[in-house]
Amino acid sequence: MMFLYGRAWKGTLLYRRLEATRLIERFEMHPGSSARHVIGVMSGKGGVGKSSVTALTAVALARRGYRVGVLDADVTGPSMPRMFGVTGADVPPVGREGRPADEILPAVTRRLGIKVVSINLLLDDESAPVIWRGPLLMGMIRRFWIASNWGDLDYIVIDLPPGTSDIPLSVMQSVPLDGLIVVTSPQRVAAMVVAKAVNMARMLERPVIGLVENMSYVQCPDCGRKMEVFGPSTGEAQAAELGVSYIGDMPIDPRLSELADAGRVEDYDHPMLDALAEAVERATVQAQ
């Protein structure tokens, strides 16, 4: 597998075309907001549990005492409100106390105080589809960033849509990311496309914090034996081949599914949460 870095990559026609379309605008945060660090979570394809990793990263950081926000940038497939148990009713009304009517206020989770911004919190019906073309999606991402009044945060964790399309491109170009967590799974097709996600980050000069392999195994509740449902784990080998850190692997855990469906993802516990928090802390210390 061939990877292009530095001068070799910058000399390619693809790089020059990408530079020609690079957004001039760098999104500025709402004047009432500040965030010390911004972390993105992405995957090469859907169905690998990227949103679960996003939510658990936010939970892990909040448990360490950080002030955390989650930006649900997966506009056409938002899941953060359901996982955290917040709805539009939890969002303070806009336009009050002299605040501008176009200001977006986050919902705040009850247990850890994680702030959540998502299009599903702005819809009257959470099942209403968002059928937008690229320019409208980009405009929504821009509005999320410049109009959301987060207050003061230590971390914003962004749940990016899967793949390497418009929204990940826009976020990487216009938002000051400190790093990206890339999520994969043991299936061969996921292993194939994860390289695209890592290479996209490198092309746009965004640091990759590390790789997480989700759905690595199921653990027998009786004997503790790990059963690799989707085949042998390939995450560590993928990370080594791509030259990125390996954060660790997550099991297929019915408990996580139950808690996420019930809006109680903050109640989930697993050693991987510490690994996620430590990887983010290391990366953001280096970024300072």
Q: Map out the domains of the chain as residue ranges.
A: 29-287
Task: Give, as one character, the DSSP assignment of residue 221.
Answer: T
Q: Which amino acid, one-letter code, is at 155?
A: Y
Three-state DSSP at 95 gives coil
Distance of CA 276 to the CA centre of its chain: 12
- Residues 48 and 185 sit within 8 Å (Cβ to Cβ): yes
pTM score of the predicted model: 0.88
The 10s digit of each residue's pLDDT in 69-103 is 999 999 888 999 999 999 999 987 765 555 666 78
Task: Give, as one character, the DSSP assignment of residue 110.
Answer: T
Distance (Å, whole) CA 74 – CA 191: 21
Question: Which residues of the chain are under the pLDDT cut of 50?
Answer: 1-3, 21, 23-24
Cβ-based neighbour number of residue 117 at 10 Å: 26
- Residues 44 and 194 sit within 8 Å (Cβ to Cβ): yes
Res 137: pLDDT: 82
Distance (Å, whole) CA 128 – CA 40: 26
Q: Which amino acid, one-letter code, is at 42?
A: M
Helix 235-242 and helix 188-203, axial crossing angle in degrees, nearest 10? 30
- What angle is formed at CA 212 by the lines to CA 67 and CA 34, rounded to 5 degrees? 20
Res 9: pLDDT: 53
Q: Which amino acid, one-letter code, is at 68?
A: V
Res 167: pLDDT: 86
Per DSSP (E only), the strands in 95-235 are 107-108, 115-117, 152-159, 179-184, 208-213, 218-219, 226-227
Three-state DSSP at 172 gives helix
- Residues 75 and 88 sit within 8 Å (Cβ to Cβ): no
Per DSSP (E only), the strands in the chain are 34-43, 68-72, 107-108, 115-117, 152-159, 179-184, 208-213, 218-219, 226-227, 246-249
Res 2: pLDDT: 47
Task: Give, as one character, the DSSP assignment of residue 75.
Answer: T
Res 224: pLDDT: 81
Pick among 3.40.50.410, 3.30.420.130, 3.40.190.10, 3.40.50.300: CATH of 29-287: 3.40.50.300
